[in-house]
C-alpha cells in the first residue's frame, strides 16, 4: 500500500519539549512547576515547556536549554532525555509530540533564578501532585521512575546538591531518592572505590548537628558517571 | 524576550520514527536492515522507518507499528522506545526529529515476513556495520546500549527467541546479549525464583547435541518483566 509522502509541513505534528524539574527541599524530593503564562491552560501549574524551533535550535537538547533559559532563567543544568509522548488528544492545539527531559536542580538554583526574573517555581510533593494539564502527570511519572531506577548505580542524585557537599549530605540524597536507608560505611567505601569524588580545600562550617567542620567534596567530573554494576 | 508562537505548520520539524530491528542468527546478535526503496539514500541499507502520520496514528508507538506492518510485514512485536534524535542536518529534507524504537525479533519471524512480501532483511553484524545514512549509526548504538544494560535485570533478551524455548537456549541468548558466560545453576535458580517462566506441555525433540527431549518453556506473560534487582 503505497502512501503519499507526508513531508509537507501541513501534515506534521506539533513538536514540543517538556522538562521535569526535580529538586530537593528540606530533604524531600519536589517538582519545580510554574503557572502557565498563556493558553491553553493559562494560569495552571504545569511543567516548563515550549516548541522545538527549527530556525533556532541545533538539536532537541538545545530546544530544552533555550526553553529553560527563556522561561526559567536556568542555564548549565544537568539534563537527561526521557522518552517522547505523542498523540491527537494530549494538546488541544492538535496532534503533538513532546520530547521529555529530566533536570535535577538544587533548590538554591531555582531561588536564584527567581531573583533574576523567572516566574516563581512552586515546589510540589510528587506524591500529592494535583491533576496537571496535558499529559504532564504521565511525563512526571516517567521522570521519577528514571531517577529512582538510576539512583543506585549512578551519580545522578548528586546533581540535586550544590557543587560542594559533605558525605552525609550525599548519602542523605541517595536515601531520599532511593527511598531506603543505606549502610554508612558501605556507602563511603563504594564512593571512594569509584573515584568519583574530589576533596575540596574548604570545609563545611560546624552546625548544631555537626560539632566540627566537615570535609567538602565535589563530583570529580560534572557529568553523569555510571557505577560499575559488578562492584 | 517573548517569541512568536511557532505553532503554525510551516515552522514545524519533520517527525519520523526509526526502528532498530535486532535478531539472533546462529547464536549472534544481528541488525535487520532493509535497502531503502526511495530517496533520499535510495538503495542504501538503513533502519526501517517512516513519518509520523497525524491523520492515521493514535500515538507514536502506533506510528512504529504501522511502519513495521507496511514496510516489514511485521506485527505483534515487542517494542521499546529509546530516545529521540533531532537537528537540522540529520535528514537532507530538513530539520527533523526521529523517535527511535528497539524491536527484538526472532530470525524466523523476519524470514516469515519475507515470504509475505517484505523486502529482504539483511542481517548485519553490529560490530561490522557499514556507514549508514542519516544518523542511523548513532540510533543503533543507543539501541544496543539499551539492550545490553537491561539484559541482566529483565526478560528483554527472551524476545529474541521464539515463543517456546529450552532453558539452555534462554541462557545462551542472555550470554550473547551480555557478552559474558553465566553460571548454569545460578541462572536456573534465579529464573525459577522469579516465576517468569511457564512449562509448556510439549517437549523439544532430541537432537545430535541433546540426547533426550528437553522441557520447553515460555514467558509467563508476554510483556517485559523487570527482575527484582536485589535478588
CATH classification of the domain holding A18: 3.90.79.10
Measured between beta carbons, which residues in chain B are less than 8 angstroms from residue A54?
11-13, 88, 94-95
Of B115, B136, B151, the one marking the end of a domain is B151
| A123 and A142 fall within a common domain | yes
Determine the distance in angstroms separating the CA of A6 from the nearest CA of chain B, rounded to an integer. 7
CA distances from A14 to A42, A71, A98, B154 (A): 19, 19, 8, 34
Say if A21 falls within a structural domain.
yes
| DSSP-assigned beta bridge partners for residue B204 | B214
DSSP states of B13-41: PEEEEEEEEEEEETTEEEEEEEE-SSSSS
pLDDT of A227 over the 80 cut: no
Range of the domain at B213: 156-219
Confidence of residue B8 (pLDDT cuts 50, 70, 90): low
Measured between beta carbons, which residues in chain A are less than 8 angstroms from residue B63?
86
CA distances from B26 to A43, B2, B22, B108, B148 (A): 59, 58, 13, 12, 19
Of B151, B169, B196, the one marking the end of a domain is B151
| B142 and B169 fall within a common domain | no
What is the model's pLDDT at position B9?
Answer: 66
Distance from CA of residue B93 to its chain's centroid?
A: 26
Measured between beta carbons, which residues in chain A are less than 8 angstroms from residue B152?
229
- Record the cell numbers describing residue B152, joined without a space: 541482566
Say if B2 falls within a structural domain.
no
A13/B52 Cβ within 8 A: yes
Q: Is the dihedral of CA B191, B193, B195, B198 positive or negative?
A: positive
CA proximity to A185, closest of A198, A169, A168, A165: A168
- Record the cell numbers describing residue B137, joined without a space: 549509526
Q: Is the dihedral of CA B144, B78, B226, B27 positive or negative?
A: negative
pLDDT of B93 over the 60 cut: yes
Measured between beta carbons, which residues in chain A are less than 8 angstroms from residue B81?
83-84
Phi, psi of A220, deg, nearest 5: -60, -40
DSSP states of A34-51: EE-SSSSSTTSEE-EEEE
| A132 and A202 fall within a common domain | no
Nearest-angstrom CA–CA distance, B159 and B113? 17
What is the model's pLDDT at position A28?
Answer: 95
Determine the distance in angstroms separating the CA of B50 from the nearest CA of chain A, rounded to an integer. 9
Mean per-residue pLDDT, A142-169: 92
Determine the distance in angstroms separating the CA of A123 from the nearest CA of chain B, rounded to an integer. 25
What is the model's pLDDT at position B3?
Answer: 44
CA proximity to B15, closest of B88, B82, B96, B75: B96
What is the model's pLDDT at position A202?
Answer: 80
Nearest-angstrom CA–CA distance, B105 and B127? 19
What lies within 8 Å, CB to CB, of A221 at 6+ separation is A196
Say if B4 falls within a structural domain.
no
The total number of structural domains that make up chain A? 2
Nearest-angstrom CA–CA distance, B38 and B92? 13
| B50 and B37 fall within a common domain | yes
Report cis status (omega within 30 of 0) of the bond before B177.
Answer: no
Of B7, B11, B70, the CB nearest to A55: B11
Helix (H, G, I), strand (E, B) or coil at B174: helix
Measured between beta carbons, which residues in chain A are less than 8 angstroms from residue B95?
54
Of A14, A63, A85, the CB nearest to B12: A14
What is the model's pLDDT at position B195?
Answer: 84
Q: Is B13 part of the contact surface with chain A (CB cutoff 8 Å)?
A: yes
Mean per-residue pLDDT, A79-99: 96
What is the model's pLDDT at position A9?
Answer: 67
| A76 and A127 fall within a common domain | yes
Helix axes A167-178, A136-151, angle to 10 degrees: 130
What is the model's pLDDT at position A228?
Answer: 58
- Record the cell numbers describing residue A148, joined without a space: 529512582
| A163 and A138 fall within a common domain | no
Say if B208 falls within a structural domain.
yes
Q: Are strands A45-46 and B28-35 parallel, antiparallel or unpaired?
A: unpaired
pLDDT (tens digit, 9 = 90+) per residue, B61-90? Answer: 999 999 999 999 999 999 999 999 999 999
In the structure, how many helices (H) and strands (E) does chain A have?
A: 5, 9
| B175 and B103 fall within a common domain | no
B6/A53 Cβ within 8 A: yes
Q: Residue B61, exposed/middle/buried by CB under 10 A (0-12, 13-18, 19+)?
A: middle
Q: Is B40 part of the contact surface with chain A (CB cutoff 8 Å)?
A: no
Of A134, A151, A168, the one marking the end of a domain is A151
In the structure, how many helices (H) and strands (E) does chain B have?
A: 5, 9
Confidence of residue B230 (pLDDT cuts 50, 70, 90): very low
Q: Which region among A8-17, B13-22, B91-100 has the lowest average model confidence (pLDDT)? A: A8-17
Confidence of residue A51 (pLDDT cuts 50, 70, 90): very high
- Record the cell numbers describing residue A158, joined without a space: 548528586
- Record the cell numbers describing residue A111, joined without a space: 531561588
What is the model's pLDDT at position A2?
Answer: 40
| A113 and A138 fall within a common domain | yes
What is the model's pLDDT at position A8?
Answer: 65
| B105 and B20 fall within a common domain | yes
Of B1, B55, B83, the CB nearest to A83: B83
Rounded mean pLDDT of chain B? 91
Amino acid at each position: 500500500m503505497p502512501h503519499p509522502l507526508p513531508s509537507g509541513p501541513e501534515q506534521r505534528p506539533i513538536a514540543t519539549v517538556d522538562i521535569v524539574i526535580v529538586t530537593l527541599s528540606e530533604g524531600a524530593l519536589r517538582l519545580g512547576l510554574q503557572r502557565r503564562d498563556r493558553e491553553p491552560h493559562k494560569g495552571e501549574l504545569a511543567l516548563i515547556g515550549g516548541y522545538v524551533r527549527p530556525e533556532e535550535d541545533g538539536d532537541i537538547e538545545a530546544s530544552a536549554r533555550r526553553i529553560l533559559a527563556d522561561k526559567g532563567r536556568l542555564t548549565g543544568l544537568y539534563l537527561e532525555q526521557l522518552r517522547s509522548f505523542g498523540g491527537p488528544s494530549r494538546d488541544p492545539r492538535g496532534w503533538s509530540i513532546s520530547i521529555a527531559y529530566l533536570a535535577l536542580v538544587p533548590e538554591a538554583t531555582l531561588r536564584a533564578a527567581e531573583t533574576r526574573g523567572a516566574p516563581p517555581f512552586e515546589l510540589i510533593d510528587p506524591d500529592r501532585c494535583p491533576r496537571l494539564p496535558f499529559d504532564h502527570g504521565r511525563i512526571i511519572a516517567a521522570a521519577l521512575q528514571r531517577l529512582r531506577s538510576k539512583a543506585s548505580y549512578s551519580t545522578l542524585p548528586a546533581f540535586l546538591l550544590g557543587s560542594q557537599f559533605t558525605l552525609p549530605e550525599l548519602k542523605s540524597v541517595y536515601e531520599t531518592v532511593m527511598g531506603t536507608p543505606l549502610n554508612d560505611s558501605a556507602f563511603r567505601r563504594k564512593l571512594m572505590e569509584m573515584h568519583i569524588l574530589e576533596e575540596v580545600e574548604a570545609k563545611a562550617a560546624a552546625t548544631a548537628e555537626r560539632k566540627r567542620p566537615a570535609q567538602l567534596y565535589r563530583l570529580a567530573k560534572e557529568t553523569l558517571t555510571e557505577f560499575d554494576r559488578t562492584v
